[in-house]
Amino acid sequence: MLFAGAHEEIITPQDSQFLFGYPHVKRYSEGVHDHLKSSALYLEVDGEKLLFIANDIIFITKQMAATVREAISQQLGIPGDHVMVSATHTHSGPITVDYASSTRDQVVPKTDSAYVGYATTRMVKAAFQARANAEAAVLGFAKADSTGIGTNRRDSTGPADHEVPVMVVMNAARTRYLACMLVVSMHPTVLHEDSKLVSADFPGMARDYLKDTVFGKNCVVLHHTGPCGNQSPRHVVSENTFAEAKRLGTVLGKAVEKAVGKLVFDEHPTMQVRRAFVEDPPRRQFPALQPAKNKLNAVRERMRRMKEERAPWAQIRTVECDIFGAEEMVTLSTMAKTGELDAYYSSCLPFEIQAMRVGSWWFVGWSGELFVDFALDVKRRTANAFIISMANGENQGYITTEEAAEEGGYEASNALFPPEAGHMLVDRTLRLLADQQ
C-alpha cells in the first residue's frame, strides 16, 4: 500500500536580498509579488521511502543539499540518497551560490549565508511535515503539452521538450488531491533585471492556477525544472511583466488541467532508488586573455550593427546575452590562468545522478544547467525517464552541445565544462537505468 504526504513552506526572504540571475544590475528586492515556496512530497511503499523537495530559488548547491539530506536522514531515518532537492531556477529570488563567472561583476555580492540557512531550515521543515501528513494514497500519471510557454532560446525552431510528466497524488478514496508533481523544461525568466520584486515567475503562477482551478488550495504543487539551458520564454512574450508571467503560468496550468482529465492510476506502485556519479568530467580549456578580449570586442560590434539595423528584440536580447557571456569568459580565462577556478570545480564535483523510480516512471536528478538536447537523448533511449535539472547541486554554468560550443554564444562562453561532460552524464544515466552498475 502507498502512503503519501505533502507540505509546503514559504522561503521568501524576510529582508531585502540581491536577486540573482542578471549581471551588472544592483538589483535588491524592494518587495514581494508572490511567495517563494519549498514544496515537499513524501512517498512510502513497502518500507521504501522517497522525498522530493522542489524549491523556488535559483540554485541548490551541493552543500545545501547535503545539509537538508543529513537532517532528514538523522531525524526521519530516510537515507540521504532517497531525498531529491531541486531548484526551479527563478531569477527573481535571492543569490544562493557564489558563481565563478560573477567574481569580477562589482554589483554581485557574496551569498548571504543567513538566507541560505533560513531556506534550508524551511526545506527540512517541509519534509518533516510532509512525512507527518502521510496517509493511504493513490498515484495517477499523465503527460501534458507545454507548447506556448517558450521555445529554444537561440533558435525558436530548435530542439525543445514540451512533454511535461504530471504525477498526481490523491487520498485512497480519491476524494482529495494531496499533491501534483511536474517537470517543465523551460527557463523561468519572464521577469528581467528591471523587476525588483521577489517572485517565483511563471512556475509560481502555474501553481496558483492549479490550486485555484483544479486541485484546491491544500494541494501541494511541486514544480521541477528540466534541462533548459537553451530554453527560454524570449520568443513568446510580448514584454517582461508579471502579466506575461501569469499568462504563461496559465498556459501551463491549463495544459496540466487537461492532462489530469486523462490520469492513469497505478493501484500498486513500486519504488526504487539508484545513484551514480561522474567523478572526473573533463574541464574546459579556456582561451588566453587577449583572444577572449578580442571576442568580447567582436560581439559588442555585432550588437552595435544590429541596433543600427533595428533587428527584432529577441535577436537583440540574444546578442546582449552573448556580450554577458563574452565578459564572463574574460573573467574565467583570467581565473583559469591564476588557478582560481580550482576551488569552484571542487565545489561542484563529482556530478551526482539520482534516479528515483515511482511506478513505471523514472525521475532522474542532474545537477546544473544543461541543454535540453541531453535530456531528449535519454528520453529517446529509455521510456518514461524524465530529467530534473538543478537537483542536489550546481555546475557553475552551462553544459552545452558541440554545436553551441562551436557557435560560442552566451551559454558556451561561461561554461566550465565542455559538451563531453553532458554526454558522460547521458551515458552514465542510461547504464544506471539499465542497472548496469
Q: Where are the domains of the chain?
A: 2-273+348-405
**Rg of the chain over all Cα atoms, to the nearest angstrom:** 21
pLDDT, position 325? 85
| Residue-level pLDDT at 13 | 98
CA–CA distances in Å: residue 318 to residues 125, 154, 226, 228, 384: 40, 7, 21, 15, 33
Q: Which residues of the chain have pLDDT under 50?
A: 437
Per-residue burial over 244-270, b if 16 or more Cβ lie within 10 Å, else e, is bbbbbbbbbbbbbbebbeebeebeebe
Residue 398 identity: Y
Burial of 180 (0-12, 13-18, 19+ CB in 10 A): buried
DSSP line for 81-120? GGEEEEE---SSSB--S--GGGTT-TTPPPP-HHHHHHHH
Sign of the dihedral defined by the CA atoms of residues 113, 119, 122, 126, in that order = negative
Question: What is d(CA 360, CA 336) in angstroms, rounded to the nearest whole number?
Answer: 44
Query: Could you tell me the three cell numbers for 223?
Result: 514544480
Question: Each residue of 335-357: pLDDT tens digit?
Answer: 999 999 999 999 999 999 999 99
Using an 8 Å Cβ cutoff, are 143 and 35 in contact?
Answer: no
313 neighbors 399 (Cβ within 8 angstroms): no
d(CA 117, CA 103): 22
Report pLDDT for 190. Answer: 98
Q: What is the reported pLDDT for 436?
A: 58
Nearest to 231 by CA among 183, 189, 200: 189
Give this prediction's pTM.
0.96
Identify the CA nearest to 263 among candidates 98, 137, 144, 100. 144
